[in-house]
Structure 1
């Protein structure tokens, strides 16, 4: 799902993005999120501040954005069209999480810990492109073949985004001691009980 071959240019861009993130998390661990500046991150990653902003619109986006939304959308759209949407989300998201745990567990934990602890990140997460509801709305509208989401779709997307965010923050709060895949699975079981027939 996430291992499609990349061109040389894409690999270079990904490497730069990962270097910026790695240096940012190192600095944040040493001096705190609020005390870490974009200039410091850029210098540590050996790029200019303008290069930083080509990859991340804001310092918050460095934590909140990732490369996986398109893969998640593709995985959801690849599920059987007659499968209940919650079941599709459950299977696709747990598959994504298992991949991330295998390849990027520590980075995911750092990111989610920051989202849990830094109020500005929580606020930014619900603002515009960082809002996880958009991913679910994109898939719901495509599956239904409509241009604009219905009220029911918006409610479903809000419930899914809120519930899955809480599961991931619960995992971060346990310092990764809980099984995040099991937490997400339980989350969808709760949603399916309440949203039977969606």
Structure 2
């Protein structure tokens, strides 16, 4: 029945994307981002170069592409409408991250989470590669827009739109700092906890518990 989930074609497309991205990340880690070509990624993935470009229009997209924006948008829209904006957005970011990365693995024997490992590899590359750091701004803008659209709809009041953009951009900036620290510490800390702490630092220590 329609509306019950992605179609078989959509699932296969998503699987192909994940496979290509995983192979690309392995090559980037082994040979370096600049030294690896899209043709190299295609050969390692067993697909044509055109197929790679169909899923990832630029080389940078092989690192920066993710499927988180629709998940964040759906979750932020589902939160109580009477919550203050920064709490509504901040809690969504913390909870969505917990779904993506799973619990912290500091000596717990927790099995690795594929999405967690992919996110960590992507962040390490972004830190080390100037072209990716520059393109990350586009990615963050897309996430901000997804949040604003989810909260306000098609014809927002200009003042409400302004406040929502400010809240979304500030929350995402705090999250970015937490992500960078998490990557620099090899993914050992609890990422949702770091994001909650960053949001607490941005909006006041008494806000920290609200985001955890």
Maintained 8 Å contact 2:27/2:41: yes
Aligned residue in 1 for 2:84: 84
Aligned to 1:180: 191
> What is the count of residue pairs matched by the alignment?
191
Contact 1:124 1:130 in 2 (8 A): no
- In the TM superposition, structure 1's runs of 4+ consecutive aligned residues that sit over 4 Å from their partners are 128-131
After superposition, the C-alpha distances for 1:12-56 in whole angstroms (9 at most, x for unaligned) are: 101110110111011111101111110100111111111111111
Give the Cα–Cα distance (whole angstroms) in 2 for the partners of residues 153 and 93 of structure 1: 15
**Matched residue, 2:210:** none
Q: Is the Cα–Cα contact under 8 Å of residues 21 and 62 in structure 2 kept in the other structure?
A: yes
Question: CA 1:128–1:17 in structure 2 vs 1: closer, same or farther (change >3 Å)?
Answer: closer
Whole-angstrom distance in 1 between the partners of 2:57 and 2:140: 11
In the alignment, structure 1 segments of 5+ residues that lack a partner are: none
Which residue, 179, 195, 202 being the options, matches 1:168? 179
Inter-partner Cα distance in structure 1 for 2:139 and 2:123: 19
Helix, strand or coil for the counterpart of 1:126?
A: helix
Which of 120, 142, 147 does residue 136 from structure 1 map onto?
A: 147
Indicate the residue corresponding to 1:69 in structure 2: 69
Shift of the 100–128 alpha-carbon distance from structure 1 to 2, 3 Å rule, reads closer
Are 1:58 and 2:58 an aligned pair? yes
**Residues 57 and 157 of structure 1, relative CA distance in 2, 3 Å threshold:** same
Q: Secondary structure of 1:146's match?
A: coil
- Tell me, in whole angstroms, the C-alpha distance in 1 between the residues paired with 2:96 and 2:139: 23
Quick one: which of 146, 150, 158 aligns to 2:156?
Answer: 146
Query: Which residue matches 1:47?
Result: 47
Answer yes or no: is the 8 Å Cα contact 1:125–1:131 preserved in 2. no
TM-score, length of structure 1 as denominator length: 0.86
1:127 shift after superposition: 2.8
Distance 1:26 1:10 in 2: 24
CA–CA distance in structure 1, aligned partners of residues 81 and 5 of structure 2: 27
Pick which of 45-54 and 98-107 moved more.
Answer: 98-107
Deviations 1:90-117 (A, max 9, x none): 2221221112113421111101111111
| Alpha-carbon separation, structure 2, partners of 1:130 and 1:20 | 25
